[in-house]
Amino acid sequence: MWGAIASVAGALIMSDAGSDASSSQESASRDSAAATERSSAASVAEQKRQYDLAREDYAPWRAAGGPAVTRLSQLLGLSAGPDSGALNKKFSVADFMDDPITKLSYQSGLDLGTQAIDRMAGARGSRNSGATLKALSRFGTDYTGAKAGESYNRFYGDQERDFNRLAGISGVGQTAARDTAAAGSNAANNIGNIMMAQGNTLGNIYGAQGNARGAAAIAQGNIWGGAAQNIGNWYGRNQMLNQYLNQPSNSYGSGGGAPDYYLS
C-alpha cells in the first residue's frame, strides 16, 4: 500500500513540476511575443516617420510643379486661361511692329540710312536718278528684312524661353511627385515585410508554445496513467494475497486468516 501511495505522490509532484515548467515556458513565450510586437511597432513607426519626412521635403517642389503645368497647358492652348495658346501663335507683321526693340530703333535706323544715301547722291548730283531710287529701295527692303528677322528670332526665343522655364518647373514637380510616390511604395513594402516577419515570428512562438502545452499534457497523462496502473497493480496483488492467506489450508489455521500486517 505504501508503494502505491508513494507512486501517487510522485505522480502529483511530477505533474506539478511539469505544470510549473509549462507555465514558465508560456510566460517566456508571452514575453518574447510582446517584445516582437514592440520591435515591429517601432520599425513601422520609423518607416512612417521617414516617409513623412520625405513627403515634407518634396512638398515645395510638388507645389511649384502643379501651377507650372497648369500655366503651360494654358499657353499651349490645352486649357482655357490668360493668353491661351500664346506659345502656338505664329509670328506676324503686327508682332514685328509691336516688338519693343523695333519701336525704339527701326524708324530711326531707316531714317538714318535713307539720309545717308540721299546725302551721298546729292553730293554726286544724282539725288533723283534711277540709281539713287534703286539704292534707297534696296536699302529699305534689306533693312526691314534684317530687322524683321531679328524680331522673329526674339519672338520665338521668348516663346521658347517661357516654355523651357515652365517645362523645367513642371519637370521638377513631376520628379518630386514620382520620388514621393516611390518613397511611399518603399515604405509600404518595408512595413509589409515587417508585419509578415512579425507574423512568422509570432506563429513560431505560439506554435512552439502549443507544442509545449501538448507535450506537457501528454506527459501529465502518462504520469497519471502510470500512477493509476501502479494503484491497480497493487490492488490486484493485495486481493490475490488476501485470497491466498484466507484459504482453510493455510498455516495459520482454518478460517483464521492472516494477520493485518501481511496486508500492508
Confidence of residue 139 (pLDDT cuts 50, 70, 90): very high
Give the three-class secondary structure for 259.
Answer: coil
User: In this predicted structure, which of 112-126, 139-153, 164-178 has the lowest mean pLDDT?
Assistant: 112-126
Using an 8 Å Cβ cutoff, are 24 and 216 in contact? Answer: no
Closest CA to 146 of 110, 98, 92: 110
| Lowest model confidence (mean pLDDT) among 24-28, 58-62, 221-225 | 221-225
Q: What is the three-class DSSP state of 250?
A: coil
- Max CA distance (Å), the chain: 185
Which residues 6+ apart lie within 8 Å of 48 measured at CB?
Answer: 187, 191
d(CA 192, CA 234): 62
* Cell 501538448, residue located: 214
pLDDT exceeds 60 at position 249:
no
- Half-sphere exposure (CA, 13 Å, Cβ side) for 136? 18
Give the whole-angstrom CA distance, residue 241 versus residue 238. 5
Is the backbone of residue 250 left (phi > 0), alpha (psi -120 to 50) or beta? beta
Q: Percent of the chain beyond pLDDT 90? A: 54
Residue 17 has pLDDT above 60, yes or no: no
pLDDT the model gives residue 93: 95
Per-residue pLDDT band for 177 (boundaries 50, 70, 90) equals very high
What does the alpha-carbon distance between residue 177 and residue 190 come to, in Å, rounded to a whole number? 20
* DSSP codes, 93-120: HHHHHH-HHHHHHHHHHHHHHHHHHHHH
Residue 24 has pLDDT above 80, yes or no: no
* Total-model pTM: 0.63
Band of pLDDT at residue 77, cut at 50, 70 and 90 = very high
Q: How far apart are CA 245 and CA 250, in angstroms?
A: 6
pLDDT of residue 203: 83
Task: Find which of 25-39, 87-101, 185-199, 248-262 is predicted with most confidence, using mean pLDDT.
Answer: 87-101
pLDDT at 75: 97
Q: pLDDT higher for 228 or 177?
A: 177
> Does the pLDDT value for residue 256 go beyond 80?
no
Amino acid in the structure at residue 49: R
CA distances from 203 to 86, 200, 206, 257 (A): 65, 5, 5, 65
In this structure, how many other beta carbons lie within 10 angstroms of the beta carbon of residue 24? 10
The pLDDT of residue 237:
72
**pLDDT tens-digit profile of 184-227?**
999 999 999 998 889 888 888 877 766 766 666 676 677 666 66
* pLDDT exceeds 80 at position 83: yes
